[in-house]
Structure 1
Amino acid sequence: MDHYRVYGNPIEQSKSPTIHQAFAKQTQQEICYEKELVQLQQFSEVVSQFIKQGGKGANVTAPFKEQAYKLCDHLSERAQLSGAVNTLSFNNGAIFGDNTDGVGLVQDLLSNQVVLRNSRILLLGAGGAAKGVVSSLLAQKPDLLIIANRTQAKAQFIVDQYPEENIQSSLYNEVAKYHFDLIINATSAGLTGDSLPIPNQAITTNTVCYDMVYGKQLTPFLVHSKALGAKKVIDGLGMLVSQAAESFAIWRGIKPSTQEIMKQLRAELQ
């Protein structure tokens, strides 16, 4: 039986084992997929130990996506562009890195009837979660993608990877001068309960607000957005399931359907 892991810190909340076991059942694959808490300094050690034990692949969640990138011998184009890896495959002693977050996000937005082509998008944050989705968002041909962050230099660093595109950086407190069709939260504010430091005027009745984080209740960002009259609020559960389906396809060569597991997870959360 092939063994897979998801690594993170924290990891207790992870639904990845449930999702991948459901995919395996649906596609009649025999796999073992477990979650593992990794101490901050021990990521590369834990991965190399798993490879020695015959592990086939791993998903990587916060805060290890950039460390995972540095471990890889080979990178997909989308992983190279994002500088962050969430899917590791181990083959003949080599580590292959990919990033399925952007595909997962875009698939979830489209399945929620969010129009991305010719839209104006604000992406909040400039860490691994944000980096991982930029190339996939740009591939949808928005009019403008603005990456906002507390320190603009970090956002500008991402912008500089895409010289041809309609992409700019901004400080959080300066985004109100734009009009946005979609605002995506890629910061950890959804996990910590901190409110995002963007002006209320940035969110209007024409804005769809999306949080990459999900939980039993709406995240603080989505509660705040709803109170400001946002057109629609969406949490990150669909992104999680869609990016997992993409990882599963990389490992197993078959793309599972996501609808049933989405229903199951949503029911469990509620």
Structure 2
Amino acid sequence: MSTLLCVTVDNFLTDEDRAFLAGYDPRAFPPVAVTVDLVVLTVRESELCALLIRRGEPPQRGRWALPGGFVGPDETLDEAAARELAEETGIRPGAHLEQLATFGDPGRDPRMRVVSVAYLALVPDLPMPIAGTDASEAHYRPVAELGGNGAGLAFDHGRILAEGVERARAKLEYTGLATTFLDEPFTVGDLRRVYETVWGVPLHAANFRRKVLSTPGFVEPTGEKLATGRGWAELYRRGTTAHLHPAIPRPPS
């Protein structure tokens, strides 16, 4: 939609608009840059982890930050987010990527007025990422180690991370996004452990299985089974439903 608007906006200009634009000077206004920042969450070794990069350039060189970068002059926001995700993680289109929120406090970046559009990405466990051009290191860090508000991250990235984690936790209640943390096929036990990891609370195995299998479109059986050493576990793939009904309520932590 945004690309279409960029291509066709000239069709709606009047002669008055064109005369106005001929004398318009954008330098009369303070410069504002737009960036995208990515909250990339995965489950590694039974912990909810976020992708962080160590900044390799000023400002705040050496501090851990969320991956991201400036939006190019010919990019849409979604295109910039997908590009940054691919550059920092090697993740190509197909990963869950959604717009999270916009952050634009005047003093959030010392270089200039920078407005950041944050995105949330939920991905299965992946090999360790390779740092991009403006980072010296890239690692998945357990969210629990970073505290509730990501204190110590560069800029306002702690706040962005906290909002991304809470968005992910909330969406597991009423969407099928928990399955995006898993490679297919998976067992109901694998899925339960995702919920337990993201929510930080243990779940009753039998009750969870009943809720998952009674929710239309959440998961689909593959017809195959996995040997567990104590028997066989049925294997499933992601279902087609976008919203779970009934929802799976998050227990109090």
TM, length-normalised to structure 1: 0.27
TM, length-normalised to structure 2: 0.29
Higher relative contact order (CA 8 A, sep 6+): 2
Larger strand share, 1 or 2: 2
